[in-house]
Amino acid sequence: VQMRDNDLRSPHFFEVEKYPTITFKSTRAESAGTGKLKVTGDLTIHGVTKQVVLDVDASSQPINDPMGKGLRMGASATTSVDRRDFGITYMQGIVADEIQITLDVEMTRPAK
């Protein structure tokens, strides 16, 4: 696992010394049914920005935070990208070009 993680951080893949972060900035969100959203935005990986659409499942109901800090809610999102679009081409034929991205997020709203 450590060898794989180090390889992914190397110049062969994500080149984290030069590009330490991956960012997503939403530009539009629209309903896709009950508890579902399509969130369009700009994904930046390896210094390259591309527009992607996240399929978001936000169907869970907010709950009172067990620590008394307001409301808490979870959501998950998925999308897929072609890694070649972001300049990541190492090990073609061994590593798939189409990469699935899954996000699990937890949001809180502070108590009033």
In a domain, residue 85? The reply is: yes
In a domain, residue 14? The reply is: no
Convert the pLDDT of each residue in 27-69 to its tens digit. Answer: 999 999 999 999 999 999 999 999 999 999 998 888 888 877 8
In terms of residue numbers, what domain contains 66?
Answer: 21-109
In a domain, residue 72? The reply is: yes
Q: Is residue 9 within a helix (H) or strand (E), and if so which, with residue range?
A: helix 2-9
Cα of 87 vs its chain's centroid, Å: 18
In this predicted structure, the answer to whether residue 24 has a pLDDT above a threshold of 90 is yes
In a domain, residue 61? The reply is: yes
CB atoms within 10 A of CB 93: 6
Tokens of 97: 């070009």
Provide the whole-model pTM: 0.82
In a domain, residue 2? The reply is: no
In a domain, residue 4? The reply is: no
Convert the pLDDT of each residue in 82-107 to its tens digit. Answer: 999 999 999 888 889 999 999 999 98
In a domain, residue 56? The reply is: yes
Domain count, the chain: 1
Distance CA 52, CA 49 (A): 9
In a domain, residue 35? The reply is: yes
CATH for 104: 2.40.128.110
